[in-house]
């Protein structure tokens, strides 16, 4: 029963996500960003890299299970205001492309199904022995599992993006500088920006990229 519930929730979530993205997104058409994505496309032997603007305000980038790449309107506004450079925005696109190329986007939806199945099963079991609090414990444990998987994916997508940016002649600095800006934009006092939810610590991500740079130069 728990597995069936998880699969149903997966199907519903995938349908709802796809519908929301279809209804609230437009194709990116910025000359400076298109020039940079063209450089990356050439390195991947692709005719072009289509990117879409998702009409929501939180600063974020995302890769849909169907392979489409999105940046939010809030993120794009920061680019248009000069707070984010074209190269830094290109690093976001490269990162999300990494999630697609490495299969993270599809796997996350499958993981979502499995996690919901585990959550339901744990809630049923723990609820018998720890009334009321059982469901909260189950949610906490599943949350730890999901966060761990997400952090692993982020490191892998960072490495993919770093390699693509380097090969495209954009370099690693925009990726690093954007991480620092994102950390500055994180609300203080316990709040977390959308970009940093279930993500590794910013300095750890920067250190990992710098290690790659050193390895490539040796």
Backbone angles phi, psi at 70, to 5 degrees: -130, 145
The confidence score (pLDDT) of residue 90 equals 97
Model pLDDT, residue 200: 80
SS3 99: helix
Both tokens of 122, joined, read: 């744990």
pLDDT tens, per residue, the chain with 218 residues: 544 544 445 555 555 666 777 788 999 999 999 999 999 999 999 998 999 999 999 999 988 878 899 999 999 999 999 999 999 999 999 999 999 999 876 655 545 555 555 555 555 555 555 665 555 555 555 555 555 556 788 999 999 999 999 999 999 999 999 999 988 887 654 444 444 445 688 899 999 999 999 999 87
Q: Give pTM, 2 decimals.
A: 0.73
Give the pLDDT score at 193: 43
The residue behind tokens 């997966």 is 10
pLDDT in the model for residue 180: 93
The 8-class DSSP code of residue 44 comes to T
Structure tokens, 119: 């959550």
For the chain, the domain total comes to 1
The whole-number pLDDT of residue 191 equals 42
Rounded CA gap, 160 and 157, in Å? Answer: 5
pLDDT of residue 109: 55
User: What is the C-alpha to C-alpha distance for residues 107 and 100, in angstroms, rounded to an integer?
Assistant: 10
What CATH number does residue 178 fall under? 3.30.2010.10
- DSSP β-ladder status, 51-54 and 69-72: parallel
Which pLDDT score is estimated for 119?
A: 54
Concatenated DSSP letters of 134-195:
HHHHHHHHHHHHHHHHHHHHHHHHHHHHHHHHHHTT--SHHHHHHHHHHHHHSPSSS---GG
Burial class from Cβ neighbours inside 10 Å (0-12, 13-18, 19+) for residue 33 reads: buried
User: Which domain, by its residues, includes 94?
Assistant: 2-217
């Amino acid at each position: 029963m728990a597995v069936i519930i998880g699969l149903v929730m997966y199907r519903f979530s995938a349908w709802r996500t796809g519908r929301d993205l279809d209804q609230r997104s437009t194709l990116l058409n910025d000359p400076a960003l298109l020039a940079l994505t063209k450089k990356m496309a050439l390195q991947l032997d692709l005719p072009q890299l289509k990117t879409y603007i998702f009409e929501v305000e939180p600063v974020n980038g995302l890769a849909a299970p169907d392979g489409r790449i999105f940046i939010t309107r809030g993120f794009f506004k920061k680019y248009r205001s000069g707070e984010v450079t074209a190269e830094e925005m290109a690093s976001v696109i490269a990162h999300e492309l990494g999630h697609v190329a490495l299969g993270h986007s599809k796997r996350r939806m499958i993981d979502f199904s499995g996690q919901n199945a585990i959550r339901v099963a744990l809630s049923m079991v723990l609820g018998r022995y720890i009334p009321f609090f059982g469901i909260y414990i189950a949610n906490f444990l599943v949350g730890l599992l999901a966060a761990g998987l997400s952090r692993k994916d982020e490191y892998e997508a960072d490495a993919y993006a770093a390699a693509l940016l380097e090969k495209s002649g954009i370099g690693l600095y925009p990726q690093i500088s954007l991480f620092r800006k994102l950390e500055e934009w994180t609300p203080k006092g316990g709040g977390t920006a959308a970009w940093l939810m279930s993500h590794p610590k910013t300095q750890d991500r920067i250190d990992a990229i710098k290690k790659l740079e050193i390895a490539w130069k040796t």
